């Protein structure tokens, strides 16, 4: 099969992307002092679902250089936005889902704003994972919209 055929299979949801996991982390809602979340634990939770092909940490313009360096050192692609972190993250999730770039979409957040993004991924036949930063930070809406859920620290 030629390159075009392989690309078409991946775009149509076939091929190697089915076992791949894309992790999207809502930094302002997850990396809070009260949750004490370890970036490595987020990667581990997502990687338990398959081959981690991307790990993106979304931060706002108030992120410290130390946090950005620590995230990059742990293999995260850091996305800093001056606008709403939620919008950028949701658009990127929708893009990954529409393009079939991963078989599983994992969102680490406690924000119910991401429920439609999980539902859109589910509608495209992708597996979804909601990662909560702790039982106090767990969103029942996200947990119920996702195929699977993980609460860190449990």
pTM: 0.86
**CA–CA distance, 78 with 72 (Å, rounded to integer):** 7
For residues 54-58, give the mean pLDDT. 98
- 57 CB neighbour count, 10 Å cutoff: 29
**CA–CA distance, 109 with 46 (Å, rounded to integer):** 13
Provide the mean pLDDT of the chain.
Answer: 87
Tell which residue, 47, 1, 33, has the closest CA to residue 136.
33
Dig out the tokens for 41 from the structure: 């634990």
The domains of the chain are located at: 20-151
Residue pair 139/110 in contact (Cβ under 8 Å)? The answer is: yes
Q: Higher confidence at residue 138 or residue 91?
A: 91
Tell which residue, 99, 138, 83, 102, has the closest CA to residue 24.
102
**CA–CA distance, 27 with 39 (Å, rounded to integer):** 10
CATH class entry, domain 20-151: alpha beta
What per-residue confidence (pLDDT) applies to 42? 96
For the segment 111-123, what is each residue's pLDDT rounded down to a tens digit? 899 999 999 999 9
3-state secondary structure of 71: helix
Main-chain dihedrals φ then ψ at residue 10, nearest 5 degrees: -65, -45
For the segment 9-40, what is each residue's pLDDT rounded down to a tens digit? 333 334 446 789 999 999 999 998 888 899 99
For residues 95-122, give the mean pLDDT. 93
Residue pair 59/79 in contact (Cβ under 8 Å)? The answer is: yes
Q: Higher confidence at residue 131 or residue 17?
A: 131
H or E, element range at 8? helix 3-11
Starting at the earlier edge strand, list the strands of the sheet with 104-108.
77-81, 51-60, 20-26, 104-108, 127-132, 148-151
């Amino acid at each position: 099969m030629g390159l075009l055929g392989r690309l078409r299979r991946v775009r149509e949801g076939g091929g190697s992307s089915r076992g791949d996991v894309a992790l999207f982390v809502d930094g302002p809602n997850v990396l809070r002092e009260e949750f004490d979340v370890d970036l490595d634990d987020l990667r581990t939770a997502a990687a338990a679902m398959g081959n981690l092909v991307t790990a993106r940490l979304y931060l706002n313009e108030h992120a410290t250089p130390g946090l950005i360096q620590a995230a990059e050192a742990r293999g995260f692609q850091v996305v800093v936005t001056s606008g709403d972190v939620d919008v950028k993250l949701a658009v990127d999730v929708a893009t990954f889902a529409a393009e079939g770039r991963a078989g599983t979409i994992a969102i680490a957040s406690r924000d119910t704003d991401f429920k439609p993004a999980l539902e859109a991924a589910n509608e495209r036949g992708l597996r979804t994972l909601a990662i909560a930063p702790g039982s106090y930070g767990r969103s029942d809406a996200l947990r119920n919209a996702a195929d699977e859920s993980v609460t860190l620290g449990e």
